[in-house]
Amino acid sequence: MQDNTLVLIAVFTGIAAFALVLQSAAFLAIARSMRNMSVRVDRLGTDLTKTVGSVSSKAEELLSVIKGVADGIRTMENNLTATSAIIQKRVVELDAFLEETADTARFQVLRIQAMVENVSSKVEETFDLLHHGVIAPATELNAIIRGIRVGLDFLVRKRKQPARTSHLDEEMFI
C-alpha cells in the first residue's frame, strides 16, 4: 500500500505540477494579452485624445462663430426694436395728423357749404330785387309807353283806314 500511496502521491503531484505549469502558461498568455491590450488601449487613448482635442478646438471655433453671430443678431434685434418704436411713434403721429386734417377739412367743407348757401340766398335776393325793382317797373313803363304810343297813333291817324288793314289780314289767310 505504500507503493500505491507513493504512486498516487506522485501522480497527484505530477497532476498538480502539470496544472501549475498550465496555469503559469495561461498566466503568461494572459499577461501578454494584457500587455497587447494595454498597448492598444494606449494607442486608442492617444488617438482619442487627439480626436477630442481636434473636436474641442473645432467646438471652440464654432462657439466663437456662434458668439459672433449671436452678437450680430443681438445688434439686429436692438436695431429692430428701435426701428419698431420709431415706426410706431410715427404711425401714432400720422394718425393724429390725419385726424386733425380730417377735422379741419370737415370744418372747411361746412364753412364752404355755409358760404355757398349765403351766396345763393344773396343771389336770389339780388334777382328778386332786380326783378321787382328794375325789370317789373321797366316792363310796366314799357307797357305804359306802348299804350301811350298806341293812343297817340290812334289820335293822330283818326281811323283813316281801319277796314283796309282788316281786309288785308283776311286775304292773307284765304
Could you tell me the three cell numbers for 137?
317797373
pLDDT at position 163 over 80? no
CA atoms within 13 A of residue 27's CA, in its CB half-sphere: 6
Q: Is the pLDDT of residue 156 over 90?
A: no
The pLDDT score that the predictor gives to residue 145 is 92
User: Which set of grid coordinates corresponds to residue 168?
Assistant: 288785308
Identity of residue 162 = P
pTM for the full predicted model: 0.40
Q: pLDDT tens digits for 124-139?
A: 988 888 888 888 888 8
